Amino acid sequence: DDEIALVGRSNVGKSTIMRELTGHSVPTGQKPGVTREPNHFDWSSQSFMFTDLPGFGFMSGVEGEHREAIQTDIVRYIEDNAESILAAVLVVDGKSVIDIIDRHSDRGEIPHDVEMYHFLKEVGIPTVVAVNKMDKVDDTDDRLNDLCDRLGLFPPWQQYEEEVIAPITAKAGRIDSLRTALQHHIRAAKRDEL
Ligand code: GDP
């Protein structure tokens, strides 16, 4: 079964994106950090499914140790299912992602988003970075170029448009760039199968 996995810190808008992509809403009580099980959704028009993995990073009310366990589970899930995962969507909050990455880097830590991006590449899973909440970002080009820089991609960000970097506003249903990027990877995967 072909699968598309959504990963990202909690509160970045994964459930909102999932709802926009699939038309299904995430049942309450299934919020990241509460359940550590991946949620599966079918994408009606296509023959693969979306997996909403639990959110990683800081969550109020979730102990550090539990947070670590969630992270380990996500990595294990991806490793175990790498064969069937056609593409991953790493969701970040466009408004805060650079500050969060830089804060961790300044402390000498590897930021979760950066680590996850490299991990996905390492296991050979094509990854789209969905930069959500762009309605809250004024300096779009600067922000997206900064993000490229932090991920080890050379700006300008436009060279990764339609494949890697997908600025979206999920809350308003503006996710066309994500759909385009996913279709690109789906087509590429189908070509490889032939
Ligand atoms: P999750 O924890 O990653 O599943 O995030 P949710 O989908 O629950 O969204 C977290 C919060 O971000 C909610 O209050 C959403 O309404 C809000 N949100 C989601 N997408 C957007 C967006 O594009 N713009 C803005 N401003 N807020 C958004």
DSSP codes of every residue in 88-145: EEEEEETTTHHHHHHHHHHTTPPPHHHHHHHHHHHTT--EEEEEE-GGG-S-HHHHHH
- Pocket lining: 131 vs ligand 1, CB cutoff 6 Å: no
Cα–Cα distance for residue pair 109/129, rounded to 1 Å? 21
The string of pLDDT tens digits covering residues 69-124 is 888 889 999 999 999 999 999 999 999 999 999 999 999 999 999 999 999 999 99
Centre of ligand 1 from the C-alpha of residue 15, in Å = 7
Does residue 145's CB lie within 6 angstroms of at least one atom of ligand 1? no
Number of H helices, E strands in the chain: 6, 6
Answer whether 55 contacts ligand 1 (Cβ < 6 A).
yes
Kindly state the helix (H) or strand (E) to which residue 58 belongs, with its residue range.
none
| Distance, CA of 114 to CA of 100 (rounded, Å) | 11
**Cβ atoms 126, 77 nearer than 8 A:** no
Q: How far, in Å, from the CA of 53 to the mean position of ligand 1?
A: 16
> Which tops the pLDDT comparison, 41 or 147?
147
Closest by CA to 129, choosing from 108, 105, 102, 98, is: 98
Q: Please state the rounded mean pLDDT for residues 42-69.
A: 75
Do residues 129 and 166 lie in contact, with contact meaning Cβ atoms separated by under 8 Å? yes
Strand, helix or coil at 40? strand
Residue 38 has pLDDT above 90, yes or no: no
Distance 193 CA to ligand 1 centre (A): 35
Complex ipTM: 0.99
- pLDDT band at 60; cut points 50, 70, 90: low
Kindly state if the Cβ of 39 falls inside 6 Å of ligand 1. Answer: no
CATH of domain 2-193: 3.40.50.300
Q: Is any ligand 1 atom within 6 A of the Cβ of residue 33?
A: no
User: How many other C-beta atoms are found inside a 10 Å radius of the C-beta of residue 24?
Assistant: 14
Q: Is 132 in the pocket of ligand 1 (CB under 6 A)?
A: yes
30 CB-contact burial (10 Å; exposed 0-12 / middle 13-18 / buried 19+): middle
Q: Which atom of ligand 1 is nearest to the CA of 12?
A: 3
